[in-house]
C-alpha cells in the first residue's frame, strides 16, 4: 500500500537526527554542549545548532542558565509512559487524615511527569477513570491546575469534548477559567465530567522552587462544590502545605 503522504526531501533524516540528539542528551546527562553532541553524533555543527534551536523552541530541550549546555525540557517528559508512584507513607497518612475530616472523596495526583497521574485515589469515592482525566484535563479540577501552569494550555489539549452541558469547551471561556485558577490557586469543576459530581483542587508546590508537583482534590455534589467553600479550601491548603516537602 502506498503511503498517501510520504515525507518529502530531507525530512526523514532531520527527524532521525532530532531524535538522536534527544537520545544523546539523555545519555550524556544535563549540561552536554552542542559541540559534544555534534562530535558524538558526527553531525555538522550547523545542523546540530539548527536542530537544537528547534528542540528548545518546542520545549523538548532547555538551555541551562549558563547557556553552555542543554537538558531535557518539559515536553520530553511526555515521551515516556508515566509511572504511578505510590507516595510515601507519611504523605498517605496526611491524605488519610483529610479523608477523616471531610465527607467527600479525597484524591492526590502527581504532575511530576508533566501529566496528571493519580497516586492516591479515594477507594470509597472512586474518581473518573484516570485515562479520561489525563486526556481531557480541562474538564477536571486537578487537570485545570496543570493547564493553568502551562505557557499555552493548547499544547496539552488535543480536543475540547463536551461531556455534559456544563463542560467548558469554549477556548475564550477556558482561557478565563484557567487565568482565574492561576490567580487564586484554586480549581473547581461543577458537573463538567458527570452531572452528579464536582471537584475542588489546590496545588502542591516544590518546597524549594515553587514548581507545581502535585494536586490535592475533594470531589462531591456539584452544587456544593460551586459554593465558596472557604473552610474547605483552607483545609485543603493546610494539608497541601504538609504534603509539599514529602512530594518535592
At 44-95, the pLDDT tens digits run 999 999 999 999 998 899 887 766 788 888 788 777 666 667 899 999 999 9
Burial of 164 (0-12, 13-18, 19+ CB in 10 A): middle
State the average pLDDT for the chain: 89
For 190, other C-beta atoms within 10 Å of its C-beta total 19
Q: What is the mean pLDDT of residues 124-149?
A: 92
Q: Which residue has the cell 477507594?
A: 123
Q: Which of 50-54, 122-126, 153-157, 180-184 has the lowest mean pLDDT?
A: 153-157
Is pLDDT above 90 for 25? Answer: no
Percent helix, strand and coil across the chain, each to the nearest 5: 45, 15, 35
What was the pLDDT predicted at 202? 98
Query: Tell me, what DSSP letter sits at residue 44?
Result: -
pTM: 0.71
- Provide CB contacts within 8 A for 70, sequence distance 6+: 25, 30, 31, 32, 33, 34, 37, 52, 56, 61, 62, 63, 64
Catalogue the long-range contacts made by 131-138 (C-beta closer than 8 Å, 24 or more residues apart).
132/193, 133/109, 136/161, 136/163, 136/193, 138/168, 138/169, 138/174
Amino acid at each position: 500500500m502506498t503511503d498517501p503522504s510520504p515525507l518529502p526531501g530531507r525530512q526523514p533524516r532531520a527527524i532521525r537526527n532530532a531524535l538522536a540528539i534527544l537520545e544523546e542528551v539523555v545519555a550524556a546527562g544535563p549540561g552536554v554542549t552542542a559541540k559534544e553532541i555534534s562530535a558524538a553524533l558526527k553531525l555538522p555543527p550547523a545542523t546540530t545548532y539548527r536542530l537544537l534551536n528547534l528542540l528548545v523552541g518546542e520545549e523538548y530541550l532547555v538551555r541551562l542558565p549558563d547557556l553552555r549546555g542543554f537538558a531535557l525540557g518539559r515536553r520530553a517528559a511526555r515521551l515516556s509512559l508515566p509511572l504511578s508512584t505510590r507516595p510515601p507513607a507519611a504523605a498517605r497518612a496526611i491524605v488519610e487524615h483529610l479523608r477523616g475530616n471531610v465527607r467527600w472523596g479525597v484524591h492526590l495526583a502527581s504532575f511530576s511527569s508533566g501529566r496528571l497521574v493519580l497516586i492516591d485515589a479515594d477507594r470509597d469515592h472512586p474518581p473518573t477513570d484516570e485515562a479520561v482525566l489525563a486526556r481531557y484535563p480541562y474538564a477536571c479540577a486537578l487537570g485545570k491546575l496543570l493547564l493553568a501552569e502551562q505557557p499555552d494550555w493548547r499544547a496539552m489539549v488535543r480536543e475540547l469534548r463536551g461531556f455534559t452541558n456544563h463542560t467548558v469547551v469554549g477556548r475564550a471561556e477556558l482561557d478565563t477559567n484557567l487565568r482565574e485558577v492561576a490567580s487564586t490557586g484554586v480549581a473547581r469543576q461543577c458537573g463538567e465530567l458527570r452531572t452528579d459530581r464536582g471537584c475542588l483542587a489546590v496545588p502542591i508546590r516544590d518546597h524549594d522552587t515553587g514548581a507545581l508537583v502535585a494536586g490535592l482534590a475533594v470531589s462531591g455534589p456539584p452544587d456544593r462544590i460551586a459554593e465558596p467553600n472557604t473552610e474547605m479550601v483552607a483545609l485543603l491548603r493546610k494539608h497541601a502545605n504538609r504534603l509539599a516537602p514529602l512530594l518535592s
